[in-house]
A and B are shown apart, each in its own frame.
Chain A
Amino acid sequence: MTELWPGLLNEGVVILFTFDSALLHIVYLSLAVSGIAIGISCVIGMPLGIWLAFRRFVSRRLAIALMYTGMGFPPVVVGLLVFLLLSRNGPLGWTGWIFTPKAMILAQVIIATPIVASFTMVAVMAVSRDLLRQARSLGATNFQIVKVVLQEARVGILVAVLAGFGRIISEVGAVMIVGGNLKGSTQVLTTATVQFTRMGLFDQAIAMGLILISITFLTSLFWIFLQGGGIEGR
């Protein structure tokens, strides 16, 4: 097997540069599903995180504990729940989403939202309260204070997005269950990697793995660029 490695890696790289339409579709679907899912997760998770960071209410600790639990929720369990929800006899069976990218997006939103919300909450809580008092005292409205919070916590918030995206782009269990890994329809990089490995097509599996790693790496680079000077710290 050790001798096979260089050859397989070589073939994997060659496959990447064939720009095969089926391969491109898999890459496109992976990015589209996870991109839309992280977008929705941000829309839900960021305000939730900010709200939990600032609001004091009776069951706040319970809410935070539930959110942290959501971060560690096994994707296969999320997949199973979404499957039961969307399957023909499930409460949302009428949507017809099962074994479509929409079902995969829903599952990934459930996985990523607690991660985005938790990281956002922690990042916002780390912003000095004196700084917010100072902004208020300088004449900022509530909306302008929220802008200060986002600006000051931007490194942590970008990490929240990156962590959520990293979790769902590399996730296999949930999308396999609710998407069905249908070639040309719901097959994404992770499920294709599993399938090719099972079929003994290691070169193709390696090609998928290389793309996944590249996407994660490029996303991280892009995020570091967005963070600008903030990543250098104080």
Chain B
Amino acid sequence: MIQFLYHLQDITKKYDERQVCSVKNLEIHRSSITVITGPNGAGKSTLLKMLGFLEPPTTGSISIDGHHYSNGSDLPISIRRRVTLVLQTPALFHGSVEKNVAYGLQVRGERDFQRRVEEVLEAVGLAHLAKANASTLSGGEAQRVAFARALAFKPDVLLLDEPTANLDPASVGLVENLIKGAVRDLGSTVVLVTQNLFQAERLADQMMLVLDGEVIEVGTSVKLFNHPEDVRTQAFLRGEMVY
């Protein structure tokens, strides 16, 4: 079995004529945590949406386990369903919390999902809100529900866009443990966007810096934090303005 799950080759993404993301060559390994970091508007979320097959690249191709996703060629639903993305702003459906969490299982035709729903709600500390209307949740609760909804169907690939942005420190710890658990227990591959360098250091197996829509440097977190090669990475990690 090849070790990497994703392979991106000469990817660009343009909105109208404006290029917002460019990747020359990137491999994402199975059952690992890849952290994407960079300043606001750098193109991190766009890259994540392409990895989630929600937006095709303008040029180039993304391959996952030998299946190619490019402009004009979609993937079969069986491949799409291996991947899920939790958006930065949680988008919850009308209805109860448990209905939201069950959605991914229902669309897959699962019938006996109640126990799994209770399990993941328990894991994110929201079992007591199972019957609550999703519209009544706080930002942090909504974010945890969105995370639980993604975990419910045990995805192969979990793409997370700033999953702890609205959370208090205790909840951040809880979510980080669940992320590690998904990799360790389910063998999931996690790609996480964060601007929190401490979080990146805590979680990342592989890390990459994105600036102005371009992947500047990729490497293990140890290498990137301790021996960054690119001067822009060095400046970013020192907290200097690099854009």
Q: Which of the segments A83-91, A127-135, A160-168, A198-206 contacts the partner chain?
A: A127-135
Q: Which parts of B67-94 form the interface with A (CB within 8 Å)?
A: 77, 80-81, 83-85, 87, 89, 91-94
- Assembly CA distance A199 to B150 (angstroms): 69
Which B residues form the contact surface with A (CB < 8 A)? Answer: 49, 52, 54, 77, 80-81, 83-85, 87, 89, 91-94, 103-104, 107-108, 133, 135, 146, 149-150, 153, 159
Question: Is the Cβ of A139 less than 8 Å from the Cβ of B133?
Answer: no
List of A residues within 8 angstroms of B146 by Cβ: 134
Q: Are the CB atoms of B93 and A137 closer together than 8 Å?
A: no
Residues of B within 8 A of A130 (CB): 87, 89, 91
Q: Which of A123-145 contact B (CB under 8 A)?
A: 128, 130-131, 133-141, 144
Q: Is the interface of B mostly helix, strand, loop or mixed?
A: mixed
Q: With a CB–CB cut-off of 8 A, which chain B residues contact A134?
A: 85, 87, 91, 146
| Cα separation A144 to B49 with both chains bound (whole Å) | 20
| B54→A133 contact, CB < 8 A | yes
Instruction: Classify chain A: how many residues form its interface, as a range.
Output: 10 to 19
> Do B52 and A137 have beta carbons less than 8 Å apart?
yes
**What's the nearest-Cβ distance from chain B to residue A206, in Å?**
42
Evaluate contact between A148 and B93: CB separation under 8 angstroms.
Answer: yes
* B54 & A139 in contact (Cβ 8 Å cutoff): no
> Which residue of B is nearest A142, CB measured?
B77
Of chain B, the residue at the smallest CB distance from A230 is B94
Interface class of chain A by DSSP: helix
Which residues on B sit within 8 Å (CB–CB) of A136?
A: 54, 80
Task: Give 12 A-B contacts (CB < 8 Å), ordered by A residue.
Answer: A131-B91, A136-B54, A137-B54, A137-B83, A137-B84, A137-B159, A138-B107, A138-B153, A139-B153, A141-B77, A152-B94, A230-B94
Question: Are B135's CB and A144's CB within 8 A?
Answer: no
* Residues of B contacting A148 in the complex (Cβ-Cβ under 8 angstroms): 93
Q: Are A229 and B93 neighbours in the complex by a CB distance under 8 Å? A: no
Q: List the A residue with the shortest CB-CB distance to B52.
A: A137
